Amino acid sequence: MAKVVLPLEVARSFAAGVTEHQVQGGDVRRLLKDLEQSFPGIAERLGQGFAIAIDGQIYQDWFVEKVRADSEVYFLPAIEGG
């Protein structure tokens, strides 16, 4: 199972403040489906202004990136620059 870590603000709104969750690997789309089943509405929330980091690699624009069964996935605020 892949480890997914939600931003604190999202975890508070959808997952009773629990940030760390185990989900099926595969790809980001599958991962979001799994999260959505447990926490309805979370997929839409995570689609608004969040980047994703899979095994340390940050993707600003994510869609179907691969997620291994032992991957660590973090949702982060999208990073801007100057």
Partner 1 sequence: MNLAEAMKKNAPVLHKGMTTEGVEPAPKKSSNIAKRAQFALGDVEAGFKKAEVIVEGDYSTQTVHQGYIETHACVVSLAADGMATVWSSSQGQFMVRAMCAKLCGMDNSKIKAIPAEIGGGFGGKTVVYLEPVAMMLAKQSGKPVKMVMSRDEVMRATGPTSGGHARCKLGALNDGTLVAGELEMEYEAGAFPGSPVGLGCMTGFAPYNMTDILCTGWDVVVNRPKAAAYRAPGAPVAAFAVESAMDELALKLGMDPLQLRIKNAAIEGTQAPYGVKFGRIGNLENLRAAEEHPHMSVPLGPNQGRGIASGFWFNIGGTSSAEVMINEDGTVIVVTGNPDIGGSRASMALMAAEVLGVDVSRIKPLVADTESVAFSALTGGSRVTFATGKAVIEAAEDAVKDMKRRAAKMWDVELDQVEWENGCAVCIETDKHKPLSIADIAKKSDRTGGAISGKANINAQGAGPAFGTHICDVEIDPETGFVTVLRYTAIQDVGKAIHPSYVEGQMQGGAAQGIGWALNEEYVYSDEGQLLNTGFLDYRVPVCSDLPMINTVVVEVPNPGHPYGVRGVGEVPIVPPLAAVANAVSRAAGVRMGHLPISPPKLLASIDEAK
Site for partner 1 in 18-47 (CB under 8 A): none
Q: Which is nearer to partner 1, 5 or 43 (CB)?
A: 5
Nearest distance, CB of residue 74 and partner 1, angstroms: 4
Q: How many CA atoms lie within 13 A of 36 on its CB side?
A: 12
Tell me which stretch binds partner 1 (CB under 8 A): 21-29, 31-39, 40-48, 73-81.
Answer: 73-81
The answer to whether residue 74 forms part of the interface with partner 1 (CB under 8 A) is yes
